[in-house]
Amino acid sequence: MKKNQRSARNLQMIRAYEVKELKERPFSVRIADSLTAYFGTAKFFLYVFLVTVIWIVINVGAIPKIVPFDPYPFILLTMIASVGAIFLTINVLISQNRQSHINTMRNELLLQMILITERELTKALQLIVKAGKRSKILGKYDPELAEMLKTTDVGWIEKKLEEQLNGKN
């Protein structure tokens, strides 16, 4: 299989996983995703900005025919904005949790692919060295090459990362 075909297949696997995850979202998460998508638009920002400006203009008494209903310091406006921010934050967190799960799965898939690739490259390099020794084209001892020929100890790397994350290093 050609490299481009393999890359396309791997990309297709990643997309397929995300599509599957999106289809399997609970109804509440679908609503949260839809709301978050809308809340993140310039249209929503403009709407909130205009409502706030109109609210303030009305409640400072700038329009003589309209009686202020929330005079300065705009306690009702502050409460509505605070409750809205709470709901907005919850929606964003729900959407981020879902996306975080998808990203975690992508990273796991990528790690597995990297480990397979590393194993394949190490084996290929070992075969090249054997061929080089047989044909006597391999020169003097190369410590860097000797290190590359060793199988990567993933457990050791994982242990070192955990130590760094726990502040032991």
CA 110-33-17 angle, 5° bins:
30
Tens digit of pLDDT for each residue in 113-166?
A: 888 888 889 888 888 888 888 877 777 777 888 888 888 888 888 888 788 888
- The helix-helix angle for 75-134 and 3-23 (nearest 10°) equals 150
Q: Which amino acid is at 78?
A: T
What are the start-end ranges of the E strands in the chain? none
Residue, of 13 and 113, whose pLDDT is higher: 113
Band of residue 13 on the pLDDT scale cut at 50, 70, 90: low
Contacts 24+ apart (CB under 8 A), 31-37: 32/90, 32/91, 32/94, 32/95, 33/94, 33/95, 33/98, 35/91, 36/91, 36/92, 36/94, 36/95
Query: Phi, psi (5° rounding) for residue 127?
Result: -65, -40
The pTM for the full model equals 0.60
Q: What pLDDT is attached to residue 169?
A: 61
- Mean pLDDT computed over every residue of the chain: 85
What's the CA gap between 166 and 89, in Å, rounded?
29
